[in-house]
Structure 1
Amino acid sequence: MIEKRRRKRHGSHIFLITLILTIALGSVVLGCSMIWSVGSPQLVAVKLESQLANLVEDVQAAESVLASAQSAKPVGKYDALLADEALCRQQNIYAKTAASPNETTIVFAGDILFDDHYAVKVKMNQRGRGIEGSISQEMLDVMRSADIFMVNNEFPYSDRGTPTENKKFTFRAKPEYASYLLDMGADIVSLANNHAYDYGKTALLDTLDTLNGIGMPYVGAGRNLEEAIQPVYFIVNDQKIAFVAATQIERTENPDTKEATQNSPGVFRCWNVDKLLEVVANAKQVSDYVIVYIHWGTEATDQLDWAQKDQAVKISNAGADLIIGDHPHVLQQFGYCEDTPVMYSLGNFLFNSKAQDTCLVKLTLDANGFKSLQFIPGRQQDCSVTMLHGTEKERVLSYMRKISPDVTIDGDGFVTKKG
């Protein structure tokens, strides 16, 4: 459609220029014939010089119109919105330039951890190569080349705070480690998980400041409820894509990970799903595509629990176009709720010392919306992540096919709905 508008405008400019030159040349011819009828050679010369000067001016004007036409950019439906920088800041709207004008790629990864007291960061420090020493170049190429890359940030960034009493695992990373997100190619992180509040309110607030300091958009937590529930929007290729994040975990009335309120910081909790459904529905009204990244499920099993199944349908009905899950720390199935793809758990990505299968999930959108969804098999082992090939890749694809009865997964990992 953009190309059609460009061609139409270009044709109208050519017509205008041709009309100008035709009129100008006709004026010269007519003027010359009138002058010759007078019969004075001197007068003919003066008048002809004047007419030629006017013709030169007309040609220059036509060239200016053509130059303007060639440099003019097509008008996008969100150009006026993007021009209002204050409104974009207020509404968490970011402009992105895609690698291709014809499609937008969005890549998702699961849980990461940069705590010095746990194996992944200990090994990273020993290797001395930062993120390059912990994630293979192939994986990094996919993450960095995505137009948008999203990951679950399963810890706060802070040097302050007190660990949650009686909690088995509490995580915290130094604020300077947030730069690893940039090294990975991350464009947005989810804080909607059960470890963002491990060191209390102070550490969570430090996390928000740290991410703001490096220009990293986040969803799923905030200084108050209004901020915690607010989506992040990216406008790419004249499409507005909404990202919403929330957590079911922990499933108690008084969780360790505090829920944001009107006056206090915390995460966006969705054990009671009503507020999440409202946020998704509102985002759908002002967006072309809505992605929900949700912390849910039961740890260490590929079996879905009832709350995942129940909420997936409701979230889809509210307007979600894609649902991405994490928290179980293992891969879970692909499914569909009507036309909404659901990846129930991405598993760990770079989180602990376990040898286990992992993945990236790549969404591609084109001018019509959804184009494809691809599962890219990986392996977390020895506190690093690599992409799988050959028999190992096929092993993981076969496993995903086995646990995902409602979809077809081809040899390249592309996922389609059966039937």
Structure 2
Amino acid sequence: MKKDMKKDERKKKRGIHTGVNGAIIASIIAFLLTITIGGTVLLSIGKKKNLDILSDDGYDTQSVEETKITRLPLLGNIVGDSADNAEISRSANETTGNSSRVPGATKIDADELGGKSTTDLGLSHKNTADGTDLSNDDADIAKADNKDGESKADRSDGEVNGSESEDLNQGDNQDLNNDGSDQNDVAASEINESSGETAISGGNWEYSITPANSEYVSLAFAGDILFDPGYAIMNKIRQNGGGIDGVIGGSLLSYMRNADIMVVNNEFPYSYGGTPTEGKTFTFRAEPSSAVLLNQMGVDVATLANNHAYDYGQTALLDTLTTLDNVGVARIGAGANLDEASRPVYYNADNGIKIAIIAATEIERLDNPDTKGATDSSPGVFRCLDITKLVSRIKEAKSKGAYVIVCIHWGTESKEEIDWWQQKQAPEIADAGADLIVGAHPHILQKIGYVNGVPVVYSLGNFLFSSKELETGLLRVNIYKDGKTGLQFIPAMQSGCTVSEATGEKKTAILNHMRAMSSGVSIDDDGNVN
């Protein structure tokens, strides 16, 4: 009996130990599961919030939201005093035709801007020259100050409505819709729903001008500009009291304002409306009131054939057309339909010279690009990856006796080397009858050359686009009555959200750089190209 009792007691003890051990094991398993699940959750959150950004030199320590990274971003927000000194990473992925672009623009946090707009800081219409003497002694290049105070071109196809332009310049927002867009702008952007077509807008396509010199027409070309209020350039302009003087150096402004025709690459839309392109890393949009800065710069023509004019969609693009019309700036390379987007703007000088300027883009070398190409019935930019329509427009302008200039968006960003598409299309454009080709998009300077006797300035780079110190320049062109072309490259430096003519050692260095790139071309110490 005692033996049986002892056996029962041992069985009970074993049962107790077994139960305790089971509980301990279960607790350990539960703990391990908790750690595993928690670690997985934390890791996924960490991946969502923090992604390493690949730069040319390896991995940066910046972090960006995953929702913004469908293409490789190389640009971060700049906070506080570091804005003017920000270094921007670069990428060469454009060689594959990827529409991801690395604009080199320095982003400013909204808090740093203090909520101020260009209107708050009193942007004013200012067209007159600043009186700075031209540094070039060549009488054929130097021009007298333009005195008209309104526009350098006498418009043969209708005048700008002064009251509408004044309202736009003052940024009157009393008629804003709930989404912040101007009712007038929206009305101008309406689509004819019954026909499914967009009516051609009211741009001017032909101008009569009186050149400063009876022997030639003078032009000036600048590279990329950016007036998006969320980026560093506009922050600098605000700090400057809302004006362009001092942001662009005095001698450069004199060249620009005194040219008979001044052309700039407008790398963004002007609108309060639209929606940023889904999945596109960098989308730009400027307030319509900032378009008066073009007047202050002396701009006559804004090229819109680029991969940012459509950043906020169809509505913003159409608003851009209206905005530029309202400030008296001709716009080329985008339109309400393909006929408008591909139209040249013509200048008829009273010395007998006729000039046609056409803008087109081959960038976003994809079947379905973010930047929509205009069609017969829908708005967009003038795309020329298929060069057929561009060739047709060049021949059409040539048949009218015009000196034909083609402004083309091409090349690979941040690469000095001319890419395959540039090598292919330059001779096609020249052989179609173009007399001068001026390129943009790489955001840096590229070479100057001649293709089948036609001068080609492959890229003028950024002009007023970011805080980064960067070599740039202004191209001055004289078109003579005998059809000859005079070219002068004015070296300049973009730095700290300003751009100024380069002097001394900087000037020499930039000219030497251009000479090194431009084999077979002579560039003298004044920048004259032969």
Whether the 8 Å contact between 1:296 and 1:327 is mirrored in structure 2 is yes
Of 322, 329, 337, the residue aligned with 1:216 is: 329
Instruction: Render the CA deviation track for 1:203-243: whole Å, top value 9, x for unaligned.
Output: 00000011111121111000001100110000112111000
1:343 Cα offset (Å):
0.2
Of 431, 451, 454, the residue aligned with 1:340 is: 454
Whether the 8 Å contact between 1:242 and 1:287 is mirrored in structure 2 is no
Partner residue in 2 for 1:393: 507
Question: Which sits farther off after the overlay, 363-372 or 231-240?
Answer: 363-372
Partner residue in 1 for 2:269: 156
Between the aligned partners of 1:83 and 1:231, the Cα distance in structure 2 is: 16
Between the aligned partners of 2:156 and 2:517, the Cα distance in structure 1 is: 47
2:445 corresponds to 1:316: no
Of 226, 233, 245, the residue aligned with 2:359 is: 245
Partner residue in 2 for 1:229: 342
Instruction: Render the CA deviation track for 1:165-187: whole Å, top value 9, x for unaligned.
Output: 11111000000111000000001
Between the aligned partners of 2:328 and 2:212, the Cα distance in structure 1 is: 21
Instruction: Render the CA deviation track for 1:80-122: whole Å, top value 9, x for unaligned.
Output: xx99858xx9981100111111221110000000011011111
2:473 corresponds to 1:359: yes
1:406 Cα offset (Å):
2.1
1:389 Cα offset (Å):
1.3
- Amino acid across the alignment from 1:229: S
- Amino acid across the alignment from 2:361: T
DSSP 3-state at the match of 2:244: helix
Partner residue in 1 for 2:232: 119
2:281 corresponds to 1:168: yes
Partner residue in 2 for 1:103: 216
1:263 Cα offset (Å):
0.8
- Amino acid across the alignment from 2:399: Q
Partner residue in 2 for 1:326: 440
CA 1:84–1:120 in structure 2 vs 1: closer, same or farther (change >3 Å)? closer
Correspondences of 1:154-303 after superposition (within 5 Å)? 154-236=267-349, 237-303=351-417
1:287 Cα offset (Å):
2.9
DSSP 3-state at the match of 2:245: helix
Instruction: Render the CA deviation track for 1:30-65: whole Å, top value 9, x for unaligned.
Output: xxxxxxxxxxxxxxxxxxxxxxxxxxxxxxxxxxxx
Question: Which sits farther off after the overlay, 293-302 or 90-99?
Answer: 90-99
CA 1:380–1:92 in structure 2 vs 1: closer, same or farther (change >3 Å)? same
1:128 Cα offset (Å):
1.4
- Identify unmatched segments of 5+ residues in structure 2: 1-153, 159-201
DSSP 3-state at the match of 1:408: coil
Partner residue in 1 for 2:253: 140
Of 240, 244, 261, the residue aligned with 1:131 is: 244
Whether the 8 Å contact between 1:113 and 1:350 is mirrored in structure 2 is yes
Whether the 8 Å contact between 2:307 and 2:363 is mirrored in structure 1 is yes
Instruction: Render the CA deviation track for 1:295-337: whole Å, top value 9, x for unaligned.
Output: 0000001011010011000000000000000000000000111
- Amino acid across the alignment from 2:341: A
Between the aligned partners of 2:414 and 2:502, the Cα distance in structure 1 is: 22
Whether the 8 Å contact between 2:156 and 2:207 is mirrored in structure 1 is no
The number of residues matched between the two structures is 333
Structure richer in helix, relative to its length = 1
Whether the 8 Å contact between 2:446 and 2:458 is mirrored in structure 1 is yes
Structure richer in strand, relative to its length = 1
2:221 corresponds to 1:94: no
Whether the 8 Å contact between 1:220 and 1:229 is mirrored in structure 2 is yes
DSSP 3-state at the match of 1:272: coil
- Amino acid across the alignment from 2:500: T
Instruction: Render the CA deviation track for 1:333-386: whole Å, top value 9, x for unaligned.
Output: 001112100000000000111110000001112211224101000000000000
DSSP 3-state at the match of 2:438: strand
Correspondences of 1:367-406 after superposition (within 5 Å)? 367-406=481-520
